[in-house]
Amino acid sequence: MDKFGFTSGMKAGSSIAIGYFPIALTFGLLAKTTGLSMMEATAMSILVYAGASQYIALNLLTTGTDPLLIVLNTFVVNIRHFLMTASLNEKMQSEKKWKKSIYAFWVTDESFSVLATRKEDKLPTSFGVGVMLVAYGSWVVFTAVGHLIGANLPIFLQAAMGIALYAMFVGLLVPSMKGNRKVVMLALIAAVINCFFYWTQILSTGWALLVAALVSSITVEIVYANQAKRKGGVV
């Protein structure tokens, strides 16, 4: 009886592991060319575990940026996780705080997406940890492998595998969109706002995501609350 236990969590997280594989591999490779030892590169993946920030850190290291600025930048890039973990808290079962403070470390854009789009209410901690650990394992192992072999995938596969995480997001979103106008509206409005920020370059990626998701979620919630009020029904 492991309907929503650790193993089924690992199964649900396997698409993240596939998606992390090319990104972690490239990170390990780039870290090597930046001059990091294998231990230094892998330690960053083990301790920081945040794809975008790690790439930016490498970039800043090569330009000789003050390490303190790199840390500050990391914080700014990850502010969006405040919103994600607040949302994830609604989805996970009630649990002792020390346990939650441990698994919080493994919340990423991807593990959040897999967990938050589950149909079930109140996901067990063991299921969540299963999803998160298979993703983390892939990230850490393939960072080391990338540094070790110091070569990348064949070019045609490299380009094609760049779609992996986005295809996963699509695969998570679409089933919820079917027959649910609210979900379609939420995704569409946020996508349009984020595209606007991208092309006008008003906000950096991290902030753009945060603002787009918040504005869309609040707008749609207000619209639906008003509709429910007009119909005099209970939401």
Partner 1 sequence: MGSWYWWMIIGMAIVTYIPRAIPLTFLEGKELPPIISGILQNIPYAILGAMIFPAILMIKEGDILFGLIGAVAAFAIAFAGANVILVVLGAIAVLSIYSLFF
By beta-carbon proximity to partner 1, the closer residue of 13 and 146 is 13
Q: Is 117 in the site for partner 1 (CB under 8 A)?
A: yes
User: What part of residues 181-200 is at the interface with partner 1 (CB under 8 A)?
Assistant: 182-183, 186-195, 198-199
User: What part of residues 52-81 is at the interface with partner 1 (CB under 8 A)?
Assistant: 53, 57, 67-68, 70-72, 74-75, 78-81
Yes or no: say if 126 and 9 are a contact pair by the CB < 8 Å rule.
Answer: yes
By beta-carbon proximity to partner 1, the closer residue of 149 and 191 is 191
Which of the ranges 2-10, 105-113, 138-146 carries the binding residues for partner 1, by CB under 8 A?
105-113
Task: Give the CA distances from residue 190 to residues 38, 194, 208, in Å, rounded to whole numbers and listed in that order.
Answer: 39, 6, 10
Q: Is 202 in the site for partner 1 (CB under 8 A)?
A: no
- Residue 198 phi/psi, 5-degree rounding, is -65, -50
Q: Is 132 in the site for partner 1 (CB under 8 A)?
A: no
Q: Is 88 in the site for partner 1 (CB under 8 A)?
A: yes
Q: Residue 147 and residue 32: Cα distance in Å, rounded?
A: 6
Q: Residue 37 and residue 160: Cα distance in Å, rounded?
A: 29
**Residue of 1, 86, 179, 232 that binds partner 1 (CB under 8 A):** 86
**Can you say whether residue 233 is alpha, beta or left, with left for phi > 0 and alpha for psi between -120 and 50 degrees?**
beta
Which of the ranges 2-10, 135-143, 144-152, 175-183 carries the binding residues for partner 1, by CB under 8 A?
175-183
Run of H or E including 185: helix 181-200
Q: Is 2 in the site for partner 1 (CB under 8 A)?
A: no
Radius of gyration of the chain (CA): 19
By beta-carbon proximity to partner 1, the closer residue of 80 and 146 is 80
Give the contact letters, 25-54, x = binds to partner 1 (CB under 8 A), - = no: ----------xxx--x--xx--xxxx--x-
Cα of 204 vs its chain's centroid, Å: 17
- Residue 121 phi/psi, 5-degree rounding, is -95, 150
Q: Is 113 in the site for partner 1 (CB under 8 A)?
A: yes
* Least distance from partner 1 to the Cβ atom of residue 1, Å: 22
**Residue of 7, 157, 204, 229 that binds partner 1 (CB under 8 A):** 157
| DSSP secondary structure of 24-54 | HHHHHHHHHHHT--HHHHHHHHHHT--HHHH
Which of the ranges 1-9, 101-109, 141-149 carries the binding residues for partner 1, by CB under 8 A?
101-109
